Every structure is written in C-alpha cells, then in structure tokens.
Amino acid sequence: MPRTLILASTSRYRRELLDRLRLPYEVHAPGVDETPLAGETPLALSQRLALAKARAVADRFPEAIVIGSDQVADLNGEPLGKPGDHARATLQLRRMRGQTLVFQTAVAVVCAATGFSAHEVAPVRVTFRPISDDAIERYLRAEEPYDCAGSAKSEGLGIALLEAIDSDDPTALVGLPLIRTCRMLRAAGVDLL
C-alpha cells in the first residue's frame, strides 16, 4: 500500500502546483517559526525552513512522505519575505525595480519511517523592469500580492513588472519546483505515473 503524501504548507500556490501531479495528498500546516537566524543567508534560510517544515509534519505523521518548501527572495544578500501588507509591498517593489534578484526556492522530502530525507534548491534569477511609483501602486491595487515573497506574482499580472526570468525549473518561482520535487518523490518511492 502506498504511503500517504503530505504537503507541509499553508500556501495555496504550492497546493495548486502539487495538484498538477494528480496524486492524492493531504495538507498539514507545519507550524515552523520562519524568522531568519542572525547572519543567515537567503539560500541557507530557504533550505533550513523547507527541511524544518517537512520534518515538523513528518514527526506527527512518521509513515507519510512529506514535502516541505520555502522561498526567500535574495536582494544582494538580503532576504525579502512576504510583505504582508500594502506599505511593505510598496517598499519592496521600489527597492527591486531595475534590480536582479535570486529567488531561492527550496524543497525537502522526508519520510521518518524509512529515514528518507532529501532537499534541493531551485534558484531563479529575476530581473525587474525600472517601474514607476504609479505603476507599482496600480499593480498592487490590482493583484494584492501580499502573501508572495518579493511582492509580485509572475503567474499573474506581476509578469508585467519583469524584464527576465532565468530558471531550469519553471514552477520554482511560483513556490514549488516540481522537477526537483518529482525527482525526490521518485527517490522516496512514489510512483508518479
């Protein structure tokens, strides 16, 4: 009998992406503190949180295969998370205009019963156009991306803010790198097809 698959996330974006695999799965909130540690790089933060989320849920459901993921926008070494509100989103987008950021999207797959644990990062280089304050305001009012790292949804109107996206895993920028996720699920024993 196949093991239960669990997504350790409250993100609707990650659920929408995982739905593409057409596998039955459950969703459980990991309840992990996402505060960066002193001096922690965006890359290290995304890796630590993805693994912590997967392990937290695997501790509660040891027989399951658990997916954890996290994304941190890296602006010249500074982590940018979810803005949470309009004012912070405005400040983020003003700082990011004309800049190239790396969105560090980490994913981890854990099964406590088998001892399986793997994690990978799918870095995505994103170049923002030099957008005006007025364009930022119009965008934020139209899409309200306050729950997205970096304050822009590339899968929606946010694409109009961008000059370029460079990635080898096309779903990584949305929040769950499915190529890497599939690779780890296969390694954990999940039959994807």
Query: pLDDT tens digits, residue range 30-71?
Result: 999 999 999 999 999 999 999 999 999 999 999 999 999 999
Residue 152 CA to residue 70 CA, distance in Å, equals 16
How far apart are the C-alpha atoms of 10 and 109, rounded to whole Å?
16
Domains of the chain: which residue ranges?
Answer: 5-187
Mean pLDDT of the region 106-113: 98
**Could you report the per-residue pLDDT of 8-36, keeping only the tens digit for each?**
999 999 999 999 999 999 999 999 999 99
Give the catalytic positions in this structure.
70
Instruction: Spell out the residues 6+ positions from residue 73 whose beta carbon is closer than 8 angstroms to its own.
Output: 42, 79, 80, 81, 96, 101, 102, 103, 104, 149, 150
Fold entry, domain 5-187: Maf protein (3.90.950)
Output the six-digit token pair for 90.
Answer: 């405005």
pLDDT above 70 coverage of the chain, percent: 100
Q: Give me the chain's average pLDDT, please.
A: 95
* Cβ atoms of 37 and 63 closer than 8 Å: no
Reduced to 3 states (helix: H, G, I; strand: E, B; else coil), residue 167 is coil
Residues 6+ apart with CB under 8 A from 84: 146, 147
